[in-house]
Chain A
């Protein structure tokens, strides 16, 4: 995480609670001199208080052979009780407040969050702080959560959701042999090798005051943040040296490198992607954000992918594109905050299509991408998309918790929060800058494709033969212009195709 320069130690706790934007500070948190960074966003009229605790440790920090250790440690913190309370006792205390401290391990950070009513603030704070600083590490909790993680990889991820399976397959292929190259929850072999002592040691090494950022937003008293930070003094102070592992450059794909996960499936889920060297730290990111919104804004009807694949052809339920890792928050259409990464990938998500239309759908997505790269956006398309994104992005921070999350992410990238960055940068962008950024970053030498399908061998033959894959409609009245486009799409060249087939039982094993 890129930290902003620490402010001078404050004299009074209430100094953090000023009107306006977030206040970000480093605070003394205990007898040692290491400090806890904090962000506060007061909203005195709110009855709710949102907390975020972001620890700079993620699945990238999993030791080789123990993939899943960071996530299991996060689970033991959030769902395993504390020094003074067993998990059962903790539940008893939290239940009447309808409170929790939810943990999520991502690539580079682990985030714990909770939103509670201010009536319960004084009871919640000591429990949340103790969970982070002094988890219980009870063997029974470890057994429960260890088994749960194993089930999640070997059963849920493999067999209960083809779209998630495809997206994780793509992630693993994009970053093979790289700290990002396994599911955050872990691999089967990695999880099996993890012991409770591994978890304790991992917590000791990484859950330190100088690796923690505390965020609080909403209707708390001004002294609350100080009380919370003081309680976190039980955490180790740390060395003050960044511990994130170096990230090698991901191996660039050549041609179309296809991985087919073979499993019983009625329809075919497809994910496409390639690494890009742009993050929110880079100026080009904001130009790409406009282009991506034009191509495939997540779960909206604005994108060309959605309009052309679903709207005009009825191929599937949805088609979207991304310039950074995207995890949808619950039932909303918005991304979860606090998923910052030093390396990102461009990707396209094609939701399941009928078997006989799968290769056409893949070609159609590649064709749309190709059209964007080769022709760029027109001035009118650019202006319409920019206007949309300027307004739409403001909706990403509707709740206290999300505002807090975006403010924290801004610190990671050394920028303001994403919504503010977009508001400041988009009005100054030109269509030429956007199209130049597209040509520079979204024209790869090759792409990786992950497909989850029940007809793997047939797909391999179709993909490697180079033969056109015309679309046969079982609906009437497709306009002539679309049928003409279909001919071009059906013959869109799939260059240098290599295909490997992996039985689903072997996925995420090592």
Chain B
């Protein structure tokens, strides 16, 4: 089977300023117009007085829980010049310990639990996660509350970790895809902080050892209760979780800082960049088009997610022709991944020969033009809906996967169950919706085109 490129667009609807989590009992997911909600488990939410969110998602996972702390801060929050990549770097620093639990002791506790523990950062959020025995819930709450409230590290360890981050950059830099992504974000964004990738500009990564003082500002600014939510999925009781969280986090004070993230002005003309790679590689065409920040009430978001599948999916005419029949293209994929702020609809084609790059680009443009001119068949739209539904259902196969899905929804919308709204929106879509977004978002003036080819040796 072909590789299943993740359709992240299907999962999330970012929305700025979405309502905070409200206190509430366990509730079955809302029934959308099209039938059963996509998210099959009850979600129970509580918001503490200091703004900290507490979410439990109980389901049949005997003896195991996934414990997530969602911080609604990612590289989009890096507004100061020279400090790109700091959200990700700071994620590393969160493992450096406290007075009560220095790094080694913190790790010993995790080790005693047999925890699978780690963290990740994206453009929009930072996440600390562990999968542990359900019996270890109290320990998890205690050690996590301690580091979120009492993190302590010195400058030497800060500098050592900065070099581990440079190592992470170096690890990724042997792939052309990092270079492509950097070029796309740099070209497509002029003001907004999506201009840099999550790991940051290389010059800033190299300079990180010098930013110890700023790290304290960053922690104070973003690691605050109103910016964080605890999500526990699996063998969990909400009341027990809530009681533990209140005891350990209840007196954590709200923050005061506000930061304005610059809005990206509308793109007025096509942009492009040509990259080379020092070793033989398949040529790549990478296209980006500005798309809206996802909003549950904006049908365009669901329509772009469906368009991604209808025009570029494995059963689309374009895929059939370019990949299967003509075999000019090795990989064809699109990604309508919604972001908290307006992001990019991206299209990537790995082409067998550089000679075919112009033709492939033209064929992609043709497919998008056709989508704007001719409505997709109702049966095709049904197949797309079905695909999205079963792909999502199949993804919820472990406590970690369930916690991640809910965590991502919270991070981007402020609500744990926005996936239900998105899938309800898919059910309401008409062929005219897809036609409309095809006409609206893929204009040449809204396009950034990056190509990457093997470097020509003299």
Interface pair A98/B391, CB less than 8 Å apart: yes
Given A91-B315, A161-B174, residue A102 in contact with residue B282 (CB < 8 A): no
Interface string of A384-417 (1 = CB under 8 A from B): 1101111111110011110000000000000000
Of the listed stretches B70-78, B106-114, B237-245, B430-438, chain A binds B106-114
Task: Say yes or no: B280 contacts A159, CB within 8 Å.
Answer: yes
A189 at the interface (CB under 8 A from B): no
The answer to whether B118 touches A475 (Cβ under 8 A) is no
Candidates A79, A151, A387, A395; contact of B112 at CB < 8 Å: A387
Q: Does A501 contact B (CB under 8 A)?
A: no
Q: Chain A contacts of B64 at CB under 8 A?
A: 394-395, 398
Q: Is the C-beta of A24 less than 8 angstroms from some C-beta in chain B?
A: no
Residue in contact with B167 in the complex, picked from A120, A300, A312, A353, CB distance below 8 Å = A353
Distance (Å) between the CB of B239 and the closest chain A CB? 24
Q: How far is the CB of B420 from chain A (nearest CB, A)?
A: 17
Query: Is A47 an interface position by the 8 A CB rule?
Result: yes
Name the residue of chain B whose CB is nearest to the CB of A101.
B1
Q: A98-B387, A475-B159, A475-B162 are in contact. Are A389 and B314 (CB under 8 A)?
A: no
* Contact B170–A352 (Cβ < 8 Å): yes
| Interface residue SS majority, chain B | helix
Contact A395 B383 (CB under 8 A): no
CB-contact partner of B327 in A147, A310, A477, under 8 A: A147
Asked if residues B116 and A475 are in contact (CB atoms below 8 Å), the reply is no
- A398 CA / B62 CA spacing, docked (Å): 10
Which of the 9-residue segments A30-38, A204-212, A239-247, A258-266 touches chain B? A258-266
Q: How many residues of A contact B (CB 8 A)?
A: 89
Cβ of B441 to closest chain A Cβ, rounded Å:
24
Chain A residue with Cβ nearest B7: A98
CA of A163 to CA of B104 in the docked complex: distance in angstroms?
Answer: 28
Contact A302 B173 (CB under 8 A): no
List residues of chain B with CB within 8 A of the CB of A399. Answer: 397-398
Which residues of chain B have C-beta atoms less than 8 A from A91's C-beta? 2, 314-315
Chain A 460-484 residues near chain B, CB threshold 8 A: 474-479
Query: How many Å from the CB of B443 to the closest CB on chain A?
Result: 29
A residues 346-397 with Cβ under 8 Å of B?
351-354, 384-385, 387-395
- Check if A315 is an interface residue, CB within 8 A of chain B: yes
Task: With A96-B387, A98-B390, A159-B280 as known contacts, state yes or no: A354 contacts B175, CB within 8 Å.
Answer: no
Q: Please judge, given known A-B contacts A267-B170, A351-B167, whether A160 and B281 are in contact too, CB under 8 Å.
A: yes
**A102 contacts which chain B residues (CB < 8 A)?**
1
Alpha-carbon distance A217/B6, docked complex (angstroms): 24
A265 CA / B174 CA spacing, docked (Å): 7
A residues near B330, Cβ cutoff 8 Å: 147-148, 151
Residue A115 CB within 8 A of the other chain: yes
Task: Report whether B394 and A395 are in contact in the complex, using a CB–CB cutoff of 8 Å.
Answer: no
Q: Which residues of B contact A310 (CB under 8 A)?
A: 164, 167
Residue A10 interfacial (CB < 8 Å): no
Q: Is A177's CB within 8 Å of the partner chain B?
A: no
- Residues on A with C-beta less than 8 A from B176 are 160
Q: Report A310-363 residues with CB < 8 Å from chain B CB.
A: 310-318, 333-334, 351-354
The smallest C-beta distance from B274 to any residue of chain A, in angstroms, reads 18
Contact call B390/A94, Cβ cutoff below 8 A: no
Contact, CB under 8 Å: A78 / B173: no
Q: Which residues of A contact B154 (CB under 8 A)?
A: 477
Bound together, the chains give a CA A100 to CA B103 distance in angstroms of: 43
Kindly identify which residue among B115, B177, B400 contacts A398, using a CB–CB cutoff of 8 Å. Answer: B400
- B313 CB within 8 Å of chain A: yes
Q: How far is the CB of B157 from chain A (nearest CB, A)?
A: 8
User: A99 to B390, Cβ gap below 8 A?
Assistant: yes
Interface size counted on chain B using CB atoms at 8 A = 74
Q: Give the shortest distance, in Å, between B367 (CB) and chain A (any CB).
A: 17
Closest to B386 in A: A96
Closest chain-B Cβ to A64's Cβ sits at a distance in Å of 26
Instruction: Flag whether A256 is at the interface (Cβ < 8 A).
Output: no
| B118:A333 contact, CB within 8 angstroms | yes
Report A87-99 CB contacts with B as 1/0, cut-off 8 Å.
Answer: 1100110111111
B279 close to A504 (CB less than 8 A): yes
With beta carbons under 8 angstroms apart, the residue of B111, B155, B167, B277 that contacts A316 is: B167
**Residue B60 interfacial (CB < 8 Å):** yes
Chain A residues within 8 Å of B111, by CB: 302, 384-385, 387-388
For B398, give its contact among A144, A148, A162, A398 (CB under 8 Å): A398
Taking CB atoms, residues of chain B closer than 8 Å to A299 are 118
Which of B114, B159, B175 is A395 in contact with, Cβ under 8 Å?
B114
Query: In the complex the two chains form, is A314's CB within 8 Å of B108's CB?
Result: no
How does the 8 Å CB contact mask read for A114-130 relative to B, with 1 for contact and 0 for none? 11110110000000000
A395 and B131: CB pair below 8 A?
yes
CA distance A144 to B331 in the complex (A): 11
> B160 at interface (Cβ–Cβ under 8 A)?
yes
Cα–Cα, bound, A475→B160 (Å): 7
Residues 148 to 170 of chain B near chain A (Cβ within 8 Å):
154-156, 159-168, 170
Known contacts A158-B280, A384-B112; A400/B397 CB under 8 A: yes
The complex places the Cα of A88 from the Cα of B165 at a distance, in Å, of 44
Give the distance in Å from the alpha carbon of A311 to the alpha carbon of B156 in the complex.
11
User: 4 closest pairs, A vs B, by CB?
Assistant: A391-B114, A477-B156, A159-B279, A314-B163
Contacts beyond the supplied A100-B2, A504-B279: 12 A-B pairs with Cβ under 8 Å = A140-B327, A158-B280, A161-B175, A269-B174, A314-B163, A315-B163, A317-B168, A384-B111, A394-B114, A398-B399, A476-B156, A476-B209
- Jot down 7 A-B pairs with beta carbons below 8 A, ordered by A: A96-B383, A103-B1, A115-B394, A140-B327, A155-B281, A315-B167, A504-B279
Q: Which residues of B contact A (CB under 8 A)?
A: 1-2, 4, 40, 60, 64, 95, 103-104, 107-108, 110-118, 131-133, 154-156, 159-168, 170-171, 173-177, 209, 277-282, 313-315, 320, 323-325, 327, 330, 352, 382-383, 386-391, 393-394, 397-400
